[in-house]
Amino acid sequence: MTFTKLAKHACMYAALTSGVALSGAAFAVEPGDGGGGSSCSVSRETGSGAVFYVPRGGNGTYNILGWGNGTGGTSSTYRSLLTAAAEECVLVAAATTSNSGSGREVESAVNQAKSRYSSIVGSDPKVCTSGHSQGGGGSFNAANRLDADCVIAVQPDTIYTTQIDRPVASDVDVVCIFTTGDVLAPASPFNASNCRRNSTKYTQETGSGTHFAPVSGSGGDAGRYMREYINRWLVN
């Protein structure tokens, strides 16, 4: 791919991803949309630069999923997706920033959750970092800041809106989830190889859907894979 084509793609990406926050407002929140093995009810609570999706039920002790939004998005944009994730019986600590690539805001959200909800997460909860698009790429950076146990990157952009600063530790489980209809942050030619290059324990999943599937309902195939790995690494 030539530099000219890359520049054109970058311009298209910036223009389209800026519409995530606007498009997200059109989607109603549907608690319970996660389906499957969901067993917890969820309340949504506000912190400083963070929103928490707090589970109730299950065994009463929960691990933490830190979430970073795509460019231009907020935690409200992903409200149904994150509600469905928390219904799997994990506490979701979602940064409210629309630029989550550095991982700083996700780090803050997770640390707030550890303090604020210490009675239900315990003294040493497992932590997975996650996010969509810019937030997906940024989930690697957040994992390094938090010394996280795992990374669940949803359609991660690792080129235009953020870059992975350095590889995650060799014992960190990583999955990058891509979809065949995604023209903004596709697996090839760069994003999957960047994920793989910065991971030791790497898995890749591919489903159907466009780049905007995660802002609709429980996220389609991308959301289904996300919840599968939440269950694998944070619940079971």
CATH number of the structural domain spanning residue 81? 3.40.50.1820
96-113 b/e (C-beta count within 10 Å ≥ 16 → b): bbbbbbbbbbbbbbbbbb
SS3 content of the chain, % helix, strand, coil (to 5): 35, 20, 40
31 in a domain, yes or no? no
Domain membership of residue 16 (yes or no) is no
The token pair that represents 197 in the structure block: 């290059």
**Nearest 5 degrees, angle CA 16-CA 22-CA 27?**
115
DSSP lists the bridge partners of residue 68 as: 131
Residue 191 lies in a domain: yes
What's the rounded mean pLDDT across residues 75-100? 97
**Stretch 199-203: mean pLDDT:** 98
Look at residue 33 in the predicted model and tell me its pLDDT.
35
pLDDT tens digits, 94-147: 999 999 999 999 999 999 999 999 999 999 999 999 999 999 999 999 999 999
Determine, yes or no, domain membership for 101.
yes
Name which residue leads in pLDDT, 236 or 206: 206
- What is the reported pLDDT for 20? 41
- Whether the predicted pLDDT of 5 surpasses 50: no
Q: Residue 19 falls within a domain, yes or no?
A: no
Task: Say whether pLDDT at 12 is over 80.
Answer: no
**Domain span at 112:** 37-235
Over residues 2-11, the mean pLDDT reads 37
d(CA 50, CA 233): 23
Whole-prediction pTM: 0.86
* Res 37: pLDDT: 52
Q: Is residue 225 part of a domain?
A: yes
Domain count across the chain: 1
Pairing of strands 127-132, 150-154: parallel
Q: Does residue 1 belong to any structural domain of this protein? A: no
Asked whether residue 136 is assigned to any structural domain, the reply reads yes
In tens, the pLDDT along 158-184 reads 999 999 999 999 999 999 999 999 999
- Looking at residue 38, its pLDDT comes to 56
